[in-house]
Structure formats: C-alpha cells, structure tokens
Amino acid sequence: PNDSGRRPRGALIAFEGGDRCGKTTQCSKIVEHLRSTGVDAVMWRFPDRSTSIGQSINAYLAEQSHMDDAVIHMLFVANRLEKRDEMLRLLAGGTTLVLDRYSYSGVAYTAAKGVPYLSMEYCKSLEVLLPAADLVVHMTMTPESMAARGGYGEERYEKVEFQSKVMAAFEALRDERWAVIDASGTIDDIHEQVTSIVEPVVRCAHNGCALGR
C-alpha cells in the first residue's frame, strides 16, 4: 500500500475501433513509450489466436469455417475469459495492460449483426466476469477510408456496410471512460494524443484508484 493506504496496480487500457484503423500500431507505440518512462507495461491482442479456441476463431475470421452467430460469439467471450486470471494477476502486480481489442469489440461486432437474440444488452451481460477497462481509446475513421488501407477485405468483417454498423455500435457504448481519437491523422500525431490520454490513467492506477466492476 502507498501513502494513502491504497495498493498500486496496473491500468487496464483497451484500444477499440474498426478494422485497419491503426490500433495495433498505436498499442505497440504506447507500450514502448510507457516502458521507456519506467512503467511496467505489456500489450495483448484479442482475439488471442494462439489458443485452441483462438484457432477456431481464426478459421472463422478467415472464412475457412462457418459457425452459428451465437456459437462464434461464445467462443470470442471464452477466448477473453481464458485470459482472465492472468489479467487480474498482472494488474494486481502493477503491470499495465494495453489491449488491442477487448470486450467492447465483442459487444459491438456481434450486436452489429442485428440478430435479435444477440442484442447489445445481452452481449454486455456476457462480459461481466471480465474487469472493465480503466480507459477505452476509441480510434475512429470513416469506413470508406479504412477500406482504402492495405489488407482490407481479407477477413470476414472487413466490409464497408458492416463496419458502419460496428461504428454505430461503438458510439452507443461510449461512457465517461472512453476517449475518442481521430484515426485519420499521422502515426506520430495520434501517438501524441494517445500518450496524453493514457499517462494520467496509468498514474491513477499506480496511486491505487479502483478498478471498474
């Protein structure tokens, strides 16, 4: 415990947004920056394609397999849950976790399908066993400009019409823990904005502020 009697912990920071908007680049850059200032930080990606559940998800995203919308959603949820204990252990031990997608992608992408029994509220309810992020960095870009980026269209959800629905779903999820960043700028400009948003959240966690949920 520190002077205020609160235990320092790592921050849980999720980067969210449509496909090909630059989340992975920004996650790597902020982790590198935090480490250079002495912060213990690691980057994870969801889905984690390395586990056996993750391999099923990968085949689905690559359109090598077909699955019922509810079934694939449960696999995405399970893929996050299989990392839960390690997440909580790292955070409690003071490590800041920077996530390239998390629960919010889960809710937004599945809700965007418009399947009546996979509503936003229902999808949210499946995430409650996971810690809420201290900060969600929402990188936004028009679906048309995402589509113009290299590699776009290779995976299942990379279609302009679907990405517009995902964008609307993310907008509906926003609350006071979200920061919205225009992802159409340069890598360095975006990194500067991300740094100014992330650093205070990391400090707050190190001072022991409460973890969401």
Contacting positions for Na ion (CB under 5 A): 19, 24, 155
97 strand-pairing partners: 12, 42
Query: Using CB under 6 A, which of 76, 90, 131, 137 touches ligand DGP?
Result: 76
Q: Report helix, strand and coil shares of the chain as percent, to nearest 5.
A: 45, 15, 40
Q: Which value, in Å, is the radius of gyration of the alpha carbons in the chain?
A: 17
Residue 163 interacting with ligand DGP (CB under 6 A): no
Query: Alpha-carbon distance 74 to 133, whole Å?
Result: 20
Q: What are phi and psi of 7, to 5 degrees?
A: -85, 125
Nearer to Na ion among residue 9 and residue 23 (C-beta): 23
Mask for 12-51, x = binds ligand DGP (CB under 6 A)? -------x---------------------------x----
Query: Using CB under 6 A, which of 101, 138, 165, 206 touches ligand DGP?
Result: 101
The distance of Cα 210 from the centroid of its chain, to the nearest Å, equals 20
Residue 134 interacting with ligand DGP (CB under 6 A): no
Query: Alpha-carbon distance 97 to 112, whole Å?
Result: 27
Residue 165 interacting with ligand DGP (CB under 6 A): no
Query: Alpha-carbon distance 201 to 135, whole Å?
Result: 7
CB of 46 to Na ion, least distance (A): 10
CB of 197 to ligand DGP, least distance (A): 20
Closest CA to 78 of 117, 52, 42: 52
Nearer to ligand DGP among residue 40 and residue 155 (C-beta): 155
Find which of ligand DGP, Na ion, none residue 47 binds, CB within 5 to 8 Å per kind: ligand DGP
Look at residue 28 and give its three-state secondary structure: helix
Residues that bind ligand DGP (CB under 6 A): 19, 47, 61, 73, 76, 101, 105-106, 109-110, 155, 157
